Amino acid sequence: MSADFGENSVFQKDLSRRKVLKVGAAAGGLLATGGLATLLASCSTGTNGDVAAPGTDFTGELTLLLGSHMTAVKGLAEKYNTLHGVLPTVQEITTPDLRSKLTTSFLAKTSPWDAAFATSTIAQEMGKNDWALPTDKFLDQSPRTNETFLENAMAPVNYQGNYYGTPWSVGAPLLHWNKRMFEEVGLDPEAPNNWHSTKNSWDTFVEYAKELTGMRNGVQNYGFTDAWAADHKLYTFGSLLQMHGGKFLDEDGEPVFDSDAGEESIIKMFDLLNTYKVVDPAVDTYTWVFDASPGYMSGNRGMFFTWPFIAGVAQDPKTSKVVGVSGVAPQPAVDTSASVDGSEYLFVPKLASNPDEGWRFLELMSSKESQTAIAATGWASIYGDVNTDPEMLKNFPYYQAIADSYQYPVDGGFSPDRDVWGKILGNEISEALASKKSAKEALSNAKKLMMEERKS
């Protein structure tokens, strides 16, 4: 595989790393003035020099594995055909099934895909197991390289100094709320806008949730909903953990979630569910966003911690009864606001038959034009300036909330075994939420089981 790109490739523009970093710094400074102060930074590059580089061995075949929700990326397939005369074959998968699909294929030493979807929780695992090609050279050579990438959104794919994915969209859970419900019970419908920048606004959030909970017009309303089944609850636990100044893992990747911050986080979740009973009581059965969202969309859940794109779904009259009344902002604060990054990526599998076609698709997907098209469908672009373009903000005001949310910690404790210990920790937190264990016991046991798992 050659290190050079084709004559017609935009990679021909080939910016040097130094130039890129300069552009990145300048762009970062520029965007900072636009309200994206600390979140945008250039990516650090990998330490491993022996990484694959995109080449020009274009075979005329391209197979993509995309999430079933990635309609915007799927839309680029036709464009790829127009540009390069290759119509990609697209396979789709739901996010909960992704890891099994990828790993079973790679274990069988095959990759039917030339570019595949990865979530922030599994990206490092793909890198560690040598299943994904490092993206470093691609990032170095791309004209959009590092320009306005969100540094935080690249952390989940950084394993031992190399990147193993290119984001197609960025985002972390935000607070969504039903303004109409707020008004019905006499609460200020705009109050949550400032909670992220107000210390201890979590307490206000709880007070609001209490007010919002109750029978109205013969319907049971709840102040809050979320998806807390299995390890999905780690988005809220992780947010709370960081709101209290805690972390999942230390610098060496060792677990440190069994801290006072961890205990406080579980206690806060427990109180919502059991003490104040302000949460939809079935949250522990909701395995992902689409289990919890119907309650919010039906208009009888006051607040919802979930992905940014739900703000777009909430505006669709076919599926939502909260059109025009759904607010969105970064999550509330304890010491600080926080969330857990859930950006999504595409990577080129090491066993791909047509890796250069895969890289070329990533190149197309990462172009400003494509990213603008993606952002126009309600999925935040990887470029800060695309998201905060006034025209874009007019249609998708929640992009500002996404940008704001990245001003706060969004660490999800990403490691190659994140999925494995995530399930252990999720299970133990469930035990605590069901009063089977204390918060301290649950966290200690999770740490013990995680260490045993790592040793075994």
Partner 1 sequence: MPDPRLHILGLQKEKRTAWFFVLPALMLVVCVYAYPIITTLVYSVTSIDIATYTIKEFVGFRNFQYIILNEFFSPTLMRTIYFGMMVVVMTILLAIGVSLLINIDFKGNKILRILILLPWAVPPVVSGVMWSQMFQYEYGFVNKIIKIFGGEGDTIWLGSPRLALHVLIITEIWRWLPFATLFIYAALQTIPRSVIEAAALDGAGYLKTVKGVILPIIFPGIIPVAIFLFVSAMKAFDTIFVLTAGGPRSGTTTLNYLVYLQGFQQFKFGRAAASAYILTALILFVIFVMFLLTRIASQRREMND
Closest CB to partner 1 among residues 191, 282 = 282
Residue pair 126/164 in contact (Cβ under 8 Å)? The answer is yes
Closest CB to partner 1 among residues 82, 435 = 435
Characterize the bridge pairing of strands 219-225 and 301-306: parallel
Long-range contacts of 82-85 (CB under 8 A, 24+ apart): 83/364, 84/58, 84/360, 85/60
Helices (H), 337-417: 355-366, 368-375, 384-387, 390-395, 398-405
Shortest Å distance, C-beta 169 to partner 1 = 26
Written as six digits, the tokens of 116 are: 């595949």
Closest CB to partner 1 among residues 204, 319 = 319
Closest CB to partner 1 among residues 90, 282 = 282
Residue 78 buriedness (CB in 10 A; 0-12 / 13-18 / 19+): exposed
Shortest Å distance, C-beta 65 to partner 1 = 17
Shortest Å distance, C-beta 321 to partner 1 = 14
Residue pair 71/377 in contact (Cβ under 8 Å)? The answer is yes
CA atoms of 386 and 380, how far apart (whole Å): 9
CA atoms of 194 and 218, how far apart (whole Å): 32
Backbone angles phi, psi at 88, to 5 degrees: -65, 145
Residue pair 339/348 in contact (Cβ under 8 Å)? The answer is no
Backbone angles phi, psi at 401, to 5 degrees: -65, -35
Shortest Å distance, C-beta 415 to partner 1 = 14
Residue pair 119/98 in contact (Cβ under 8 Å)? The answer is yes
Closest CB to partner 1 among residues 56, 129 = 129
Shortest Å distance, C-beta 162 to partner 1 = 16
Residues that bind partner 1 (CB under 8 A): 99-100, 103-104, 107-109, 129-131, 229-230, 281-282, 284-285, 287, 294-295, 419-420, 423, 427, 430-431, 434, 436, 453, 456
CB atoms within 10 A of CB 117: 27
What residues have CB less than 8 Å from 62, skipping those under 6 apart?
A: 80, 86, 88, 89, 114, 115, 354, 357, 358, 360, 361
Closest CB to partner 1 among residues 3, 219 = 219
Closest CB to partner 1 among residues 75, 281 = 281
CA atoms of 150 and 134, how far apart (whole Å): 18
In the chain, the amino acid numbered 411 is D
CA atoms of 169 and 346, how far apart (whole Å): 10
Shortest Å distance, C-beta 439 to partner 1 = 15
What residues have CB less than 8 Å from 50, skipping those under 6 apart?
A: none
Closest CB to partner 1 among residues 279, 362 = 279
Shortest Å distance, C-beta 103 to partner 1 = 7
Shortest Å distance, C-beta 25 to partner 1 = 37
Shortest Å distance, C-beta 436 to partner 1 = 7
Shortest Å distance, C-beta 108 to partner 1 = 8
Closest CB to partner 1 among residues 29, 281 = 281
Shortest Å distance, C-beta 257 to partner 1 = 18
Closest CB to partner 1 among residues 230, 340 = 230
Closest CB to partner 1 among residues 386, 450 = 450
CA atoms of 328 and 309, how far apart (whole Å): 10
Secondary structure percentages of the chain, helix, strand, coil, to 5: 45, 15, 40
